[in-house]
Chain A
């Protein structure tokens, strides 16, 4: 039989539990109302040096906190398909000032900066700056040179600077041997499809990371599409010259002996032929193609060393 004291205690405990449960339900309602609150675009302390001083020596931890904030900021913006990432660069500068050895901040951060909106900030110059900062602080990190080369080549279309980055990186102890080859290939054949194919093949062969491998494969497929579209449009052009009019469908080219069968893209779907131009039926599996883009869709030549959508977990 419960004593009076125990009954009183039980009533208190039940009351507290009930009120807490009610408050939790109310919080859920409040969250729904505040769901559309604009994301905070404020850097409360803009100076990295001030933050460093305030850290009382625990700047490594602060760097981790800022990095986590940056990752969450990028993820939230990306999910909202925002085209503005106003404090991305300042957050990255803060993180790398507090901990200059935090290599993932340079590697991933530069990708976030370089990717075109709404995938990223669309600021490859800022991405290059941050990677150069990383190289100054970590001259032994050859991957940063590789990252820089990628940004210059893919995003900024500056093959000479890209070649220079790969060349500098190739001298770092432990650098992958193909850095040297990339430097030479970019210097000699800057911008050509063969160079790109060579680079992505090397990336595919040099990594066990499944995400990197998947991305390298996707890039190689897109390069294959670019090449095939070029060849097919060339043949369609020859047909138009010989017959005096553009081909209406692939059968006409097959009948003319210019093709053995209806050409299929790497996804197994037939290429589309319209007024002498060749298009893929669906660009979704080939986001990086520069030829054969269906009318009305945008080329989104994704960036960065990994060249893939980096969407961190929220």
Chain B
């Protein structure tokens, strides 16, 4: 089982890194990190803040774009190319192994991407701050949280890929991401509502992924450390939520007639 999972994951990773769009997006993100050094110079007294805000936002947004654009095609492309039948029938690979393997492969890809972009980012921080120190530790936490965002969005993109076309999958994935950034506000609105509305809003506010809690970019830009408890809770939340989404993806995929 581990062997099959690893094979699919590694194959997914290999295919993803062959995609030219990936390199263009990484390059663009690195350019933005470089530009943020200049951006700070046309503002006043916020060089480091601009670098961190712009650099981490670039890593986050571009990673999410990559996650969605590759994730939405993970299953549907295999169905289109008819390679899925070979993988499932001839190997044989169980359907859940296929889904989990694809998920792991894309997460690996995004981790490597984030790593490359982070190298560029920390290079820029080194240049602007004339060194790296303990004060930069929160930046590592912020990047870790960005990786957790990637895990969530990858699981969601994969879920949509199991039953929808790439276009609609991308729309759903972006929409869920946008709504997820309002998750804390939704819970606030739910508390102000009454009756059935309150119940429904509360349900929705807990159902949507809690992307808001994974964005600590503004906080670390002001050198404010992230509470260790939040790191543990967010990690646990992402594992559980992504697990739920993957189970749903496997459930749908198991029931899907591929012929």
- B54 close to A64 (CB less than 8 A): yes
When chains A and B are docked, how far (Å) is the Cα of A266 from the Cα of B197? 74
Chain B residues with Cβ under 8 A from A108's Cβ? 44-45
- B217 close to A58 (CB less than 8 A): yes
- B181 close to A64 (CB less than 8 A): no
A116 near B: Cβ within 8 Å? no
B222 near A: Cβ within 8 Å? yes
Chain A residues with Cβ under 8 A from B52's Cβ? 60
- B49 close to A64 (CB less than 8 A): yes
- B43 close to A68 (CB less than 8 A): yes
When chains A and B are docked, how far (Å) is the Cα of A217 from the Cα of B89? 84
- C-beta contact mask, A81-125 vs B, less than 8 Å → 1, else 0? 000000000000000000101101001100000000000000000
Chain A residues with Cβ under 8 A from B217's Cβ? 58, 60-61
A53 near B: Cβ within 8 Å? yes
When chains A and B are docked, how far (Å) is the Cα of A67 from the Cα of B49? 11
Out of B41, B53, B61, B185, which one reaches A64, CB within 8 Å?
B53
When chains A and B are docked, how far (Å) is the Cα of A80 from the Cα of B212? 42
- C-beta contact mask, B174-202 vs A, less than 8 Å → 1, else 0? 00011001100100000000000000000
- A67 close to B44 (CB less than 8 A): yes
Nearest-CB residue, chain A, relative to B43: A68
What is the minimal beta-carbon distance from B103 to any residue of chain A, in angstroms?
Answer: 24
- B221 close to A60 (CB less than 8 A): yes
Nearest-CB residue, chain B, relative to A112: B44
- B54 close to A72 (CB less than 8 A): no
Chain A residues with Cβ under 8 A from B211's Cβ? 57
Contact A312/B53 with A53-B182, A58-B61, A60-B217 known, Cβ cut-off 8 Å: no
B79 near A: Cβ within 8 Å? no
Chain B residues with Cβ under 8 A from A61's Cβ? 53-54, 57, 217
- C-beta contact mask, B17-44 vs A, less than 8 Å → 1, else 0? 0000000000000000000000101111
When chains A and B are docked, how far (Å) is the Cα of A154 from the Cα of B12? 67
What is the minimal beta-carbon distance from B64 to any residue of chain A, in angstroms?
Answer: 10
Chain B residues with Cβ under 8 A from A58's Cβ? 53, 57, 60-61, 215, 217
What is the minimal beta-carbon distance from A108 to any residue of chain B, in angstroms?
Answer: 6
A71 near B: Cβ within 8 Å? yes
B218 near A: Cβ within 8 Å? yes
When chains A and B are docked, how far (Å) is the Cα of A101 from the Cα of B220? 11
- B43 close to A71 (CB less than 8 A): yes
Out of A72, A99, A104, which one reaches B218, CB within 8 Å?
A99
Chain A residues with Cβ under 8 A from B50's Cβ? 64, 68
B46 near A: Cβ within 8 Å? yes
What is the minimal beta-carbon distance from A182 to any residue of chain B, in angstroms?
Answer: 24
What is the minimal beta-carbon distance from A164 to any residue of chain B, in angstroms?
Answer: 27
Contact A67/B218 with A57-B212, A58-B61 known, Cβ cut-off 8 Å: no
Chain B residues with Cβ under 8 A from A13's Cβ? none
- A72 close to B42 (CB less than 8 A): yes
Interface residues of B in 112-151 (CB under 8 A from A): none
A313 near B: Cβ within 8 Å? yes
- A57 close to B42 (CB less than 8 A): no
Chain A residues with Cβ under 8 A from B61's Cβ? 58
When chains A and B are docked, how far (Å) is the Cα of A101 from the Cα of B212? 18
Nearest-CB residue, chain A, relative to B55: A61
- A57 close to B181 (CB less than 8 A): yes
Chain A residues with Cβ under 8 A from B221's Cβ? 60
- C-beta contact mask, A47-90 vs B, less than 8 Å → 1, else 0? 00000010011111101100110011000000000000000000
- B49 close to A312 (CB less than 8 A): no
When chains A and B are docked, how far (Å) is the Cα of A211 from the Cα of B52? 27
Chain B residues with Cβ under 8 A from A102's Cβ? 46, 49
- A68 close to B42 (CB less than 8 A): yes
Chain A residues with Cβ under 8 A from B181's Cβ? 56-57
- A60 close to B178 (CB less than 8 A): no
Interface residues of A in 122-150 (CB under 8 A from B): none
- C-beta contact mask, B72-108 vs A, less than 8 Å → 1, else 0? 0000000000000000000000000000000000000
Out of B39, B57, B60, B178, which one reaches A68, CB within 8 Å?
B39
- B42 close to A71 (CB less than 8 A): yes
What is the minimal beta-carbon distance from A77 to any residue of chain B, in angstroms?
Answer: 15
Nearest-CB residue, chain A, relative to B52: A60
- A313 close to B53 (CB less than 8 A): no
- B46 close to A67 (CB less than 8 A): yes
- A104 close to B45 (CB less than 8 A): yes
- A56 close to B53 (CB less than 8 A): no
Chain A residues with Cβ under 8 A from B57's Cβ? 58, 60-61
When chains A and B are docked, how far (Å) is the Cα of A58 from the Cα of B42? 20
Chain A residues with Cβ under 8 A from B212's Cβ? 57
Chain B residues with Cβ under 8 A from A64's Cβ? 39, 43, 46, 49-50, 53-54
Closest 9 pairs between A and B when the two form their complex, measured CB to CB: A60-B218, A104-B45, A68-B43, A61-B53, A57-B215, A57-B181, A60-B53, A56-B181, A64-B50
What are 16 A-B contacts with C-beta separation under 8 Å? A53-B185, A56-B181, A57-B211, A58-B217, A59-B218, A60-B52, A64-B50, A71-B42, A71-B44, A99-B218, A101-B218, A101-B222, A104-B44, A107-B45, A108-B44, A312-B44
Known: A60-B49, A72-B42. 15 other contacts (CB 8 A): A53-B182, A56-B177, A57-B212, A61-B54, A61-B57, A61-B217, A64-B43, A67-B43, A68-B42, A68-B50, A99-B218, A101-B222, A101-B224, A107-B45, A314-B42
